[in-house]
A and B are shown apart, each in its own frame.
Chain A
Amino acid sequence: QQNVQQSPESLIVPEGARTSLNCTFSDSASQYFWWYRQHSGKAPKALMSIFSNGEKEEGRFTIHLNKASLHFSLHIRDSQPSDSALYLCAVSLDSNYQLIWGSGTKLIIKP
């Protein structure tokens, strides 16, 4: 059974700083990796995804995947108060896209 862990559980970062969120998974056969963001009271929305080793950058957000170390991460540069949310990582083994979720990191960006 796939085990997906996130760290830290919560994080407070000053505005303008760089934020790093981590996700580890247990099944080396995992193929699809996502970060979702859930603002309070709203549905989780897909933020970024990555399907092969390496990095992918979209605006202020960078996702990094290292399958050998069973780890992927999300980095936010120039963090903004609007980035404050619950960040969830999710992993899928196959193209059926059945997601196994981490428990989330609560991020607060302080002005």
Chain B
Amino acid sequence: GALVYQYPRRTICKSGTSMRMECQAVGFQATSVAWYRQSPQKTFELIALSTVNSAIKYEQNFTQEKFPISHPNLSFSSMTVLNAYLEDRGLYLCGARLQNSDYTFGSGTRLLVI
């Protein structure tokens, strides 16, 4: 079956430092990878959508300068949170899909900023 692994599952970083999280698709080819953030008391916000052979599309309020994303092949994507501050804490979720199928989600990377 299709699975998506995210790691680390949980991480703590000091305010002002950067943190990289990874997303691995297993059992299918991830032509599209979507990164979401669930802040405390909020819903999942789409950060960016990465589709193979297309430019990565960032949503309003999210930038490449703050959340650079790499999608080098059909099974892997990574996103870095640069200069993390308190407002960046939350659950970061990666969803991947093959072409027009439903997304399969990982369990998320929980980021704590101290």
Using a CB–CB distance below 8 Å, which chain A residues touch chain B?
A: 1, 4, 34, 41-46, 49, 88, 95-104
**B13 interface residue per 8 A CB criterion:** no
Asked whether A42 and B44 contact (CB < 8 A) given A34-B102, A97-B32, A99-B34, the answer is no
Q: How far is the CA of A45 from the CA of B49 in the complex (A)?
A: 18
Q: Which one of A42, A43, A99, A100 has the greatest number of beta carbons of chain B within 10 Å?
A: A43
State which of A4, A46, A100 has its C-beta within 8 Å of the C-beta of B103. A46
Q: Is the C-beta of B84 less than 8 angstroms from some C-beta in chain A?
A: no
A41-B107, A49-B102 in contact; A99/B93 too (CB < 8 A)? no
Assess the B43–A42 pair: CB atoms within 8 A. no
B→A interface (CB under 8 Å):
4, 32, 34, 36, 42-46, 49, 51, 59-60, 93, 95, 97, 100, 102-108
> Would you call B4 and A99 a contact (CB within 8 A)?
no
B98 to nearest A CB, angstroms? Answer: 12
